[in-house]
Structure 1
Amino acid sequence: MIRRAVPVGIGHYLPERVVPNSHFEGFLDTTDEWIRARSGIERRHFAAEGETTSQMATQAARQALDMAGLEPDDIDAIVVATSTPDLTFPSAATMVQSALGMTRGFAYDVQAVCAGFVYGLAQADALIVSGQANRVMVIGAETFSRIMDWTDRGTCVLFGDGAGALLLEAMESSGETSDRGILATDLHSDGTYRDLLYVDGGVSTQTTGHLRMQGKEVFRHAVEKLAATAEAALAKAKLAHDDITWVVPHQANIRIIQATAKKLGTPMEQVVTTVADHGNTSAASIPLALSIAVQDGRIKQGDIIVTEAIGGGLAWGAVVLRW
C-alpha cells in the first residue's frame, strides 16, 4: 500500500467586475474581433480597488473546504501559487491561513508564474506521499491586472484576475493506475529563456514593473514543451493517450490549447477551456477551469485528468491525476 494525494474539495473565485474586449477599443488600437481571433478571449475579470490576491485565494479555499465538509484546522498545509502576492512578505499563504482561522500547520507561496499551480500540486503530492502532511490546500491566485502596461495591446488584453483552490487528502492506495489521486508529476525550467516572458521590475530594483512578452516565441515553446511534459507525465503514470478523460490545460491562448491537444491526439471535446471567459489568469487558470468543470458535472470521480502549464522562467510541467 502507498499514500496518494486525492482531491476531496475544489472551489474558485472570480471578481465581480467583468471586462469585455470592447473595453480596450477606447484606448488601444485593437478590436473585439482582433482579440478573439488571436487569443480566443472574449472577456476577463478584474479585481476591484483594494481587492487582493490573498482575499480571492481565501474565498476559493472556503469553497473547497465546504465541498470537502472540513474545517480550516483539518488542513495541515496551504500552498499558494502566485506571482502577484499582496506584499513582498509575508506570503499570501500565511494571509490565507489567518483569514480562514487556521491555527495550526504551515503555509507558504510558490512562484512559477503560469506553471505555479502545477508546481504547487507537485509540492503537495510530495508532502502527502512523504507523510509530512495529510491534507494540503493548493491555491492558484493572481491579480495580473496590477502589472499590465495598458499601452501594450499585445499583452494587456490577455490577462485577468481570479483564484482556484484544490484540497488534497492522503489516502492509502494499492499503487496501481486504478488509484484515485495524483498519479504522476513532471516539472521543468530553463532560465536561458527568461527574456521571453517577464516583469521588468522587482523589489531589488525598487520598481513594480510591467509584464513583457515575446508572444511568437512563447507560442512556439509552449506547444512543444506542453505536449512533451504531458507525454512524460503520462508515461510516468503508466497510462496512454486513450486513458485520458479530460485535459485541463493552462488557459493562455485558445490556439496554444488547440495545437497542444492536436500534438497529444486529444480531441477538443475532451479539453476543458475557460479562456474565453477568464483570459489568462496565470497560476489561477488551471484550478479555475477544474472547479468549473467539476461544478457543471463534466469531471466525475474516476476520470483521468492531465493538466499542463508553461510560464515565465521559462517554467513548465504537467500532472496526471484520477479524480
Structure 2
Amino acid sequence: MNIKITGSGSYIPSEVVTNSDFAKHVFLNDDGTPFPQPNDIIAEKFRDITGIEERRYVTDDLNTSDIATIAAQKAIEDAKIDPETLDYIIFAHNFGDVKKGALQADLLPSLATRVKFNLRIKNPKCVAYDMLFGCPGWVEGVIQAQAFIKAGMAKKCLVIGAETLSRVVDMHDRDSMIYSDGAGATIIEATDEAGGILAHETATYAYDEAYYLFFGKSFNDQHHPDVRYIKMHGRKIYEFALSQVPLAMKECLENSGIPISQVKKILIHQANEKMDEAIIQRFYRHFKLTPPEGIMPMSIHKLGNSSVATVPTLYDSIMKGQIENQKLNKGDVIIFASVGAGMNINAIVYQV
C-alpha cells in the first residue's frame, strides 16, 4: 500500500492587486513615524526583495471556508471519488472566517465542518477538524492524513489549505504587501500505485522563536489599540528559515533513501523569492552541489504569499499545466517544504 495525492484543486481569487495599487497607502514604521521614501520607491524595493508584482484578494462576499469549498470540490472531481467516502477533512488555516469589515474571526463551527456542510456530506464517520500550524499547515495536514491511513483509520482524506490574509493585514505596515488570499485542496488516498509519500519531517522551534510571527496593533496609533493584525519580525524569520529549513529537507531526503540527483522539483512555501532561493542554495550546498535550473517553480510573482495555500495551489497549477516551463510526470520525485508561524518547519519527499 502506498499513500498518494489522487486529486487536486484550487481557487485563485479574481481580484488582482498590483504593487502600484498601494501608491496612496500611508506606510509607517513600527513606532508610527512615516517612511522617508515615496511609495513608488518602497514598492520597487519590495518587488526586488520578495519577487511579488501582484497578489490576489477575495471579493467581499467570500470567506475562507467558501474558497476552500470551491477548491475541495475541484479536488474531489479530479480524484473522481464520492465525497461520502471521505474519512477525514483536514482544513489548515490560521485566522478562521473573517468577514469583510469584521473585527473578529469566526471559528464556530470549525471551518472543516463548514466545508463538510457545504459539500453536503451526510456520512457522520467523515471527521472534520481544523489545523492551526502556520504556513506549513497544509503540508502537516498531508502528514497527518498519511498517519491515519497507515494506522488503518482512513482510506481517503481531504486536506485543504486556505486563507484570506487580506482581512487581517495592517494597511499601514509595508509587510501587508506580501500577503494574499487563496485556497488549495488535495485528496490523499491509499493506493496500489507506485510512489507516494516516501518520508516526512516536522519540527516546532518555540524556545526563542515562538513570536517571530504574531498578532499586534496597527502602526497607526489612531487605530483602536485592541484591534490586532498579522505582524512579523522579518529579519529573524529570514535567518531562521535559512538555517533550519535546508536541514529539515536534507534529513527528510536522507530518510527517504532517494539520492538528490533524482529530485525533479522542490515545491516550497511561497514566502519571499530571495529567501526561497537562498534556502534551495543552502540545501544543495549540504550535498556540495548547485541547484539545477528550474528546480524551484514559483507562483509568488503573481499570487503573493497566501500562507497555507501556497504549496497546494502551486502543486495544482503545475499538475494542470498552468505554470510555464514546469511540469510533473509520473514517477518524478519532488520535495514539499514549508516554514511559518510557530515557528514550524516541515518537508515531504513525494513520488508522483
Same fold (TM over 0.5): yes
What corresponds to 2:206 in structure 1?
A: 191
- 1:30 and 1:223, CA in 2 relative to 1: closer, same or farther beyond 3 A? farther
Q: Distance in 2 between matches of 1:200 and 1:99?
A: 33
Q: Tell whether 2:350 aligns with 1:318.
A: no
What corresponds to 1:231 in structure 2?
A: 250
SS of equivalent to 1:101? coil
Q: Tell whether 2:131 aligns with 1:110.
A: yes
User: For residues 74-117 of structure 1, what are the alpha-carbon distances to aligned partners after superposition, in whole Å with 9 as ceiling and x for unaligned?
Assistant: 21111011002122222111111111111121111111111111
Question: Identity percentage over the alignment?
Answer: 30
1:140 to 161, 181, 188: 161
Q: Distance in 2 between matches of 1:208 and 1:58?
A: 28
1:160 to 163, 173, 180: 180
Q: Which runs of 5 or more structure 1 residues have no equivalent in the other structure? A: 174-178
2:319 to 291, 294, 302: 294
User: May I ask how many residue pairs the two structures share in their alignment?
Assistant: 311
What corresponds to 1:245 in structure 2?
A: 264
Q: Distance in 2 between matches of 1:133 and 1:110?
A: 18
Q: Which runs of 5 or more structure 2 residues have no equivalent in the other structure? A: 28-37, 98-105, 218-224, 285-290
Q: Tell whether 2:284 aligns with 1:273.
A: no
Q: Distance in 1 between matches of 2:292 and 2:235?
A: 24
2:39 to 19, 30, 33: 30
User: For residues 188-220 of structure 1, what are the alpha-carbon distances to aligned partners after superposition, in whole Å with 9 as ceiling and x for unaligned?
Assistant: 00122122111238xxxx955111111111111
Q: Distance in 1 between matches of 2:210 and 2:150?
A: 32
In angstroms, what is the RMSD of aligned CA positions?
1.6
* TM-score between the two structures when normalised by the length of structure 2: 0.85
Q: Distance in 1 between matches of 2:226 and 2:151?
A: 40
Q: Tell whether 2:31 aligns with 1:20.
A: no
Give the deviation of 1:268 after TM superposition.
4.4
What corresponds to 1:255 in structure 2?
A: 274
What corresponds to 2:59 in structure 1?
A: 48
Q: Which has the larger radius of gyration?
A: 2
- 1:220 and 1:172, CA in 2 relative to 1: closer, same or farther beyond 3 A? same
AA partner of residue 52 (structure 1): N
SS of equivalent to 1:156? helix
Q: Distance in 1 between matches of 2:351 and 2:276?
A: 21
What corresponds to 2:307 in structure 1?
A: 282
SS of equivalent to 2:314? helix
Name whichever structure is richer in helix by fraction.
Answer: 1
AA partner of residue 157 (structure 1): M
Q: Distance in 2 between matches of 1:226 and 1:70?
A: 35
Give the deviation of 1:4 after TM superposition.
2.3
What corresponds to 1:121 in structure 2?
A: 142
Q: Distance in 1 between matches of 2:91 and 2:189?
A: 17
SS of equivalent to 1:23? helix
Give the deviation of 1:172 after TM superposition.
4.1
Q: Distance in 1 between matches of 2:211 and 2:116?
A: 34
SS of equivalent to 2:261? helix
Q: Distance in 1 between matches of 2:271 and 2:293?
A: 16
AA partner of residue 295 (structure 2): Q
Written as runs of structure 1 = structure 2, the 5 A alignment for 1:52-67 is: 52-67=63-78
AA partner of residue 182 (structure 2): G
SS of equivalent to 2:170? coil
Query: Are the aligned partners of 1:41 and 1:275 in contact in 2 as well (CA < 8 Å)?
Result: yes
Q: Distance in 2 between matches of 1:70 and 1:172?
A: 16
Q: Distance in 2 between matches of 1:308 and 1:246?
A: 11
Q: List 4+ stretches of structure 1 deviating above 6 A.
A: none
Q: Distance in 1 between matches of 2:337 and 2:214?
A: 20
